[in-house]
Chain A
Amino acid sequence: MYLNVLLSALFCLSLNSAAVAAAGAPQFELTGSDGMRLSIYSELDPLQINRIHSWHIDLVSAQGAAMSGAQIEVSGGMPDHDHGLPTFPRVTGETAPGRYRLEGMRFHMPGRWQLYISIDGAEPLLLEFEL
């Protein structure tokens, strides 16, 4: 299934554009209002429905330093269908400085998905895409 990536802003956060991943490139990139950058890689590439898989998230400060020890919360769902994610994904470890493993990702419908990614309790960044 082709992935159309749409990124939009929430709570005045500016977000970078993203592209369908080439080899080694992140599937999504987000930038927080303080310049913090998230690079998101899916182990399932291209993304598709009905397969549980992991992501990893690289977290880099505005100054370019890897951000260790962050608390990352992920939620989301499909606003057009009035339901959340089919799973409760969570970060299960920091596999390298500033690199976090997010397990339990699964999408169970084609359509528009929204994910909210919160770092250390801050207002969440919005990631929106079509599957």
Chain B
Amino acid sequence: MKRALWLLPLLALAAGVAWQQVSAPLPEYWSDSEVALIGSLSLTALPPLPADPSNAVADSEEAARLGRWLYFDPRLSANGRVACASCHQPALAFTDGLALAVGIDVGTRHTPSLIGLSYSPWYYWDGRKDSQWAQALAPLEAPIEHGSDRLSLLRLLVDDSHYSRLYRATFGDLPPLADIASEGTAAVRERGRTAAQQHQIDAAFANMGKALAAYQRKLQPGRSRFDDYADGVARDGRTGQGELLSSDEIAGLGLFIGKAQCINCHNGPLFTNFDFHNTGVLAVSGQLPAIGRYDGIRLAREDPFNCLGPFSDARESDCVELRFARDDNQLVGAHKTPTLRNITETAPYMHGGQIATLTEVVRHYNEAPVSMLSHNEAKPLNLRPVERRQLEAFLATLSAPLAAESEWLEAPNYAE
């Protein structure tokens, strides 16, 4: 008996290691509430794409075709080398693989995926834009992104006969460029313009955004292994659904909707509530901590291209998100929840690409560090190493080819 005592510390150590590394057995059935939560995440539960009343051509095929040409065209930049597709690359789930976007210069934010984004009421990590078309305009003029200007873009539409044709088919006549674009520097030309001429330029610019948005509305997620699994669960409640998901992936799903609390924000079939949360992510290296949504809602309200502005096609009563948006201190340091669809293809992660891998993302949420600004809404999770691995395994089940037809995922032939 005495001789066996020396084994006790070893046994305790072995039990400790096992606790960290060995998975708990799966139950045979999910509970009713778990079945409901799993079903709520399936693409089967995705409602039709909501209308965008601020964009009269949001669902026009002509507009989407024009938008596709614009989207892939590097002529929409000051140096002729930056297109929307330079950062939002179809092959990388419409991201770029970089921590910070690179247009004409290095940007300050990580390129977000565009998959399913047209369901969002807000755009940019801080929600500074309230429609997809208003969002599409800002990078065209941003000096570190496309660095172009409204008149140069309008000139492209007028001078390129293909663009002129597509534009007229969608929006009617282009503004008479000869009247607007007198000689001289940009500043002189701007001073010489009447308000009516400026409005014409701005309206054509807004229409480019509306066509780009019509195109991006085509970029919807495709069914993944998870969706087939979830629909099986909805039918019979069983945790095992043939070979659709491995036991680790199923355990990870259980953590996702339970102990790990991911579903709090990454909810619904797009795995995002498109809302704003402070999750204690470190500031981007070399930058002050970002104020996030607190600034974003103020920028959205000031934006002349917002839902209530002169270029919107909406009635005031349509602009409920903008009119009733929260704008107080609770939003300091809050950034938009991104989709987790195709998440394995969109590394690095967070608004500044601060976290390189999903393993580290899971570790971040497990620790829930104190926020540099305001407070971290997330709390430490106490996930065991095996659980962190399982959670990450589950996230990989959300990748699939897009539902969009292939023509929307490829650049058009500009030489035609």
Interface residue total, chain A, C-beta cutoff 8 A: 22
Minimum CB distance partner of A78 in chain B = B264
Contacts of A89 in B (CB 8 A): 324
Q: Does any Cβ of A come within 8 Å of B366's Cβ?
A: no
- Tell me if B309 is interfacial: C-beta within 8 Å of chain A: no
Cα A2 to Cα B39 with chains together (Å): 12
> B324 near A52 (CB under 8 angstroms)?
yes
Say whether B36 faces chain A, with CB atoms less than 8 Å apart.
Answer: yes
Q: Of the 9-residue stretches B16-24, B265-273, B349-357, B401-409, which lies at the interface with chain A?
A: B265-273
User: Could you mark each residue 208-248 of chain B with 1 if its beta carbon is under 8 Å from any beta carbon of chain A, else 0?
Assistant: 00000000000000000000000000000000000000000
Complex CA gap A110/B346 in Å reads: 26
A35 within 8 A of partner (CB): no
Q: Is the CB of A52 within 8 A of B267?
A: no
Asked whether A85 and B326 contact (CB < 8 A) given A50-B267, A52-B321, A111-B264, the answer is: yes
**B274 proximal to A (CB < 8 A):** yes
In the assembled complex, which residues on chain B have CB atoms less than 8 Å from the CB atom of A108? 265, 267, 273, 275
Majority-rule SS of A interface residues: loop
The answer to whether B195 has its CB under 8 Å from any CB of chain A is: no
Nearest-Cβ distance from residue B51 to partner chain A, whole angstroms: 13
- Return chain B residues, CB-CB under 8 Å to A90: 324
Judge whether A84 is part of the interface by a CB distance below 8 angstroms. yes
**Can you pick out 10 interface pairs between chain A and chain B where the beta carbons lie within 8 Å of each other?**
A1-B36, A50-B268, A83-B377, A87-B325, A88-B327, A88-B328, A103-B324, A109-B265, A110-B263, A110-B264
Residue of A nearest to B263 (CB): A110
Contact string against A for B residues 142-159, beta-carbon threshold 8 Å, 1 for contact and 0 otherwise: 000000000000000000
Q: In the bound complex, what is the Cα–Cα distance between A86 and B273 (angstroms)?
A: 10
With a CB–CB cut-off of 8 A, which chain B residues contact A111? 264
Task: Write the B31-71 contact mask toward A (1 if CB under 8 angstroms, else 0).
Answer: 00000110010000000000000000000000000000000
Residues of chain B within 8 A of A2, CB atoms compared = 36
B320 at the interface (CB under 8 A from A): yes
Q: Whose C-beta in chain A lies nearest to the C-beta of B293?
A: A86
The size bracket of the interface on B is: 20 to 34
> Judging by beta carbons under 8 Å apart, are B264 and A109 in contact?
yes
> When the two chains form their complex, are residues B275 and A82 in contact, meaning their CB atoms are under 8 A apart?
no
List 9 additional A-B contacts (Cβ < 8 Å) besides A88-B327, A90-B324, A106-B324.
A49-B267, A50-B267, A82-B377, A84-B330, A86-B273, A86-B275, A86-B276, A104-B324, A109-B267
Docked pose: A108 CA to B268 CA in angstroms: 10
Whether the pair B263, A83 counts as a contact (CB closer than 8 A) is no
Given A109-B264, A110-B267, decide whether A88 and B325 contact each other with a Cβ distance below 8 A: yes
- The CA-CA distance from A70 to B265 in the complex, in Å, is 35
Do A52 and B326 touch (CB < 8 A)?
A: no
Residue in B closest to A84 when the chains form the complex, CB atoms: B330
Is B323 among interface residues, defined by CB-CB distance under 8 A?
Answer: yes
On chain B, the residues within 8 Å of A85 by CB distance are 326
Taking a contact as CB atoms under 8 Å apart, the answer to whether A81 and B330 are in contact is no
Which residues of chain A from 68 to 120 have a CB within 8 Å of any chain B CB? 81-90, 103-104, 106, 108-111
Q: What separation, in Å, do the CA atoms of A83 and B37 have in the docked complex?
A: 22
CA A29 – CA B263 in complex, angstroms?
30
Residues from chain A with a CB closer than 8 A to the CB of B274 are: 50
B107 at interface (Cβ–Cβ under 8 A)?
A: no
User: What sequence of 0s and 1s flags, for each residue 298-333 of chain B, a beta carbon within 8 Å of any chain A beta carbon?
Assistant: 000000000000000000000011011111101000
